[in-house]
């Protein structure tokens, strides 16, 4: 007699989540958009370094004064700005800045959140008190003002923007990670590891961390759009990236030009930004539902 084939016993969390995501057509479209933007960003990074190393003016900075404020045309698909620079090329370069901001802020915020959350949840007691106190303090300071204050004190520019956003946005993830570590620290696999003499450090980061890694992935995809939107505000307030075309600078430059009827700079940067932020928002939601459906409300409640 034939028994039906056993389902694969150990389809991992990642495999199941991926299969669920694959069936979600909207999420796949969004992932496609994200990959496309990432490729554009890599291309723009290449252009930037190519001209920088050869010490030439990159094409997106070439000033053609006679053709300033040109309407969109074949030569300039999105027209030109007040100095006759090509807007389309600037939008492409803006993608590079957006990805740099998104990735760098994550590289600052996520390690802080994971390290502090793990220490607090695993050790508890005094360590926990101290870290909870620290993130309560950070959580109390008004977000945008805090970011601005850090960016000004550190100095205007990419570093200031990334430090500002990075140092102020780790609290939510830290709280979630701490909660997970509290749940995991008394599980049997942890007790077993402790009995055979595995060090605390190894238990925290080799044994428990893989079990909470999905939170990090979700947090990464949900923080990206926030970082891009914040960069625009910071650029408008004059503490953003200096001397390079970012979407934020283009949008804030458009403030006066719009009134003169030059809409293309605003339209180009806004459209470019809209699709990547939308794609990240929708993909992040789908990813969260696939990896950890319970998180939806946990996040809503701490938001």
Partner 1 sequence: MMAYIIRRVLYVIPVVFGVALVTFILFNVVGWNAASQMLGKHASPEEIAALQERLGLSGPLYQQFSHYLWQIVTLDFGRSYATNQKISTLILNGILPSLSLTVPIFLIDLLLAIGIALVAAYYRNTWLDRSIVVLAVIGMSISYLVYILVGQYLLAYRAGMFPIWGYETAKYLLLPVIIGVVSGLGSGVRFYRTVMLDEMYQDYVRTAFAKGCTQRSVLFKHVLKNAMIPILTSVVLSIPFLYTGNLLLENFFGIPGLGYLSVEAINSADYPVIKAVVFVGSVLYVFASLLTDICYALVDPRIKLR
Cβ nearer to partner 1, comparing 2 with 294 = 294
Choose which of 82, 138, 211, 216 interacts with partner 1 (CB under 8 A): 138
Distance in Å, CB of 7 to partner 1, minimum = 26
Please, what sign has the CA dihedral across residues 120, 123, 128, 130?
A: negative
Q: Which residue's structure tokens are 């997106």?
A: 60
Cβ nearer to partner 1, comparing 170 with 193 = 170
Q: Residue 213's closest CA among 35, 13, 20, 22?
A: 13
User: How many Cα atoms are found within 13 Å in the side-chain-facing hemisphere of 104?
Assistant: 16
Tokens for 285, please give them.
Answer: 């939601």
Choose which of 103, 115, 182, 229 interacts with partner 1 (CB under 8 A): 229
Please state, in angstroms and rounded to a whole number, the distance separating the CA atoms of residues 85 and 262.
14
Which three-class secondary structure state does DSSP give residue 202?
helix
Binding of partner 1 at residue 152 (CB under 8 A)? yes
Distance in Å, CB of 237 to partner 1, minimum = 6
Choose which of 161, 254, 286, 290 interacts with partner 1 (CB under 8 A): 254
Binding of partner 1 at residue 29 (CB under 8 A)? no
Q: Kindly state the greatest CA–CA separation across the chain.
A: 85
Binding of partner 1 at residue 54 (CB under 8 A)? no
Which three-class secondary structure state does DSSP give residue 131?
helix
Which three-class secondary structure state does DSSP give residue 102?
helix
Choose which of 87, 227, 251, 290 interacts with partner 1 (CB under 8 A): 251
Residues lying near partner 1 in the complex (CB under 8 A): 133-134, 136-142, 144-146, 148-150, 152-154, 225, 229, 232-233, 236-239, 248, 251-252, 254-255, 258-259, 266, 270, 273-274, 277-278, 281-282, 285, 296-297, 300-301, 303
């Amino acid at each position: 007699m034939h028994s039906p084939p056993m389902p694969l016993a150990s389809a991992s969390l990642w495999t199941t989540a991926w299969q669920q995501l694959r069936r979600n057509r909207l999420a796949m479209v969004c992932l496609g958009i994200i990959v496309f933007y990432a490729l554009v960003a890599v291309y723009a990074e290449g252009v930037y370094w190519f001209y920088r190393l050869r010490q030439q003016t990159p094409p997106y900075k070439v000033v053609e004064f006679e053709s300033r404020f040109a309407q969109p045309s074949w030569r300039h698909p999105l027209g030109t700005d007040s100095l006759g620079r090509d807007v389309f090329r600037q939008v492409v370069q803006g993608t590079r800045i957006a990805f740099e901001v998104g990735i760098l802020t994550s590289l600052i915020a996520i390690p802080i959140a994971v390290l502090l959350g793990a220490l607090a949840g695993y050790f508890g007691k005094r360590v926990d008190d101290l870290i909870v106190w620290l993130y309560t303090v950070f959580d109390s300071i008004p977000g945008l003002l805090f970011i601005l204050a850090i960016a000004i004190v550190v100095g205007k520019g990419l570093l200031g923007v990334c430090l500002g956003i990075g140092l102020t946005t780790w609290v939510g993830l830290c709280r979630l990670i701490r909660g997970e570590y509290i749940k995991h620290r008394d599980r049997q696999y942890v007790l077993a590891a402790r009995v055979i003499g595995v060090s605390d450090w190894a238990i925290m980061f080799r044994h428990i961390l893989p079990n909470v890694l999905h939170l990090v992935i979700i947090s990464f995809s949900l923080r990206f759009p926030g970082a891009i939107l914040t960069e625009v505000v910071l650029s408008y307030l004059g503490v953003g990236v200096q001397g390079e075309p970012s979407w934020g600078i283009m949008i804030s430059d458009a403030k006066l030009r719009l009134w003169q009827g030059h809409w293309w700079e605003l339209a180009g940067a806004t459209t470019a930004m809209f699709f990547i932020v939308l794609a990240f928002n929708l993909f992040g939601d789908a990813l969260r539902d696939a990896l950890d459906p319970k998180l939806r409300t946990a996040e809503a409640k701490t938001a």
